[in-house]
Structure 1
Amino acid sequence: MSSSKLLADAEIKMDQPIKFYSTGDEYGEFSNFAAYPIRIGNRIWPTSEHYFQAMKFKDKKDQEQIRKANSPMLAARMGRDRKRTLRKDWESAKVNVMREALLAKFTQHEELRELLLGTGDAKIIEHTTNDDYWGDGGDGRGKNMLGRLLVDVRSTLREDLSKPKLE
């Protein structure tokens, strides 16, 4: 195959949206369930899902229980438990909390940063019928907020790369 054909195929692929959901799938690293610990403040969170779910609550005891959950799925269940008192500003804060978690994840793990930057200008979509806010709802009508935030983080990482290094 000629090099121009390979380049054309690569460009076509970059025009295609990148869809992810399960951690075992291509681009599964983009999932909040992917096992990439993040440090925020003086605490280490096993996954970005643990952090996101814990931040729903003001009570430090609730946050710590979720941080120590044995899996991101358990952390998600705990975060959806309405026996815990949700912080009053959660609806207005949740996108910024997710952005903070993603920035930590993609700046603290070089291989993830490279993977995200390697997506070029492709649209990134969390493709799932389970969620029409963070995902696309399975039919493209969802808000895809997670995918949109990943595109924002990709732009931020590019900006950081273009800044001159101070020595």
Structure 2
Amino acid sequence: MASAVDRRVFDPDKKASVRVLDDSAATARRLVESRITAFTGEYDFLSTLSKSRVVLPGEGVMEGEGFQAYPTVEHALQASKSSDPTYRQSILSSKDALEAKRRGAKAPNVDKQAWKLKSLVVMEALLRDKFRRHKGLRQQLMNTGTKQLVYENEHNDQFWGTCKGKGHNHLGQLLERVRADEKEGLLGILLWAKQVFNATSDSKVRLDVSVTREGHPLP
């Protein structure tokens, strides 16, 4: 008996019935192959929990006075909930991103609805900073090609991802947006600079760009 994913049809050349992959199964397989749903293992770099130094938008680009880097996107995202120095230090001193997330859930005086809107802006800026600041991670993002990025999870986070196929998947969508802009080259750099510097449309920001090939400057 044919399995649920197979069906049998008569082949006149072979004068016998043969097994063929059911159309619905083939469609399902193509869908799986065109998506990345686990931000772990090979695709751990897509996770907000993965280690990658980033800065909050408008708070510095290079190390120096007033510069504060965070070890992960999650640390920085949670820190952005409040400008209180004591709170931010507690986030920064968290042993890992999960602890930073737990501490961030107790951030003081946070309007949850307003935070949802703000968090989308902050997350986009942090992702741009992450993949612009770290060349290796940027290349890994480019290597995902045109695959749909879906943050599928089991802890019912339907805002940043999906759970059992339901959710907004904002993280995945923002990653795809950053990937598309980075493919355009200069556009990715300009959008990163605009958000990191908090530049407005009439702001003037000087950028010194160094172009290299295999680590060597080009004329």
Structure having the higher Rg: 2
Task: Tell me the residue number matched to 2:43.
Answer: 27
1:132 aligned onto 2:158: yes
Aligned 1:150-161 pairs, distance under 5 A = 150-160=175-185
Aligned 1:41-60 pairs, distance under 5 A = 41=60, 42-60=67-85
1:79 aligned onto 2:104: yes
Counterpart pick for 1:17 among 19, 35, 51: 35
For this pair of structures, how many residues does the alignment match? 151
Aligned 1:112-123 pairs, distance under 5 A = 112-123=137-148
1:63 aligned onto 2:88: yes
* TM-score where L is the length of structure 2: 0.62
User: Which SS does the other structure have where 1:70 is aligned?
Assistant: coil
Which residues of structure 2 form unaligned runs of 5+? 1-29, 61-66, 189-208, 212-218
Higher-strand-fraction structure: 2
Higher-helix-fraction structure: 1
Task: Tell me the residue number matched to 1:95.
Answer: 120
Q: Are the structure 2 counterparts of residues 91 and 37 from structure 1 closer, same or farther at C-alpha, using a change threshold of 3 Å? A: same
CA deviation after TM superposition for structure 1 residue 44, in Å: 0.7
Which segment drifts farther, 59-68 or 94-103?
Answer: 59-68
User: Which SS does the other structure have where 1:143 is aligned?
Assistant: coil
Amino acid in structure 1 at the alignment position of 2:80:
M
Task: Tell me the residue number matched to 2:204.
Answer: none
User: Which SS does the other structure have where 1:26 is aligned?
Assistant: helix
Structure 2 distance, partners of 1:162, 1:147, is 20
User: Which SS does the other structure have where 2:124 is aligned?
Assistant: helix
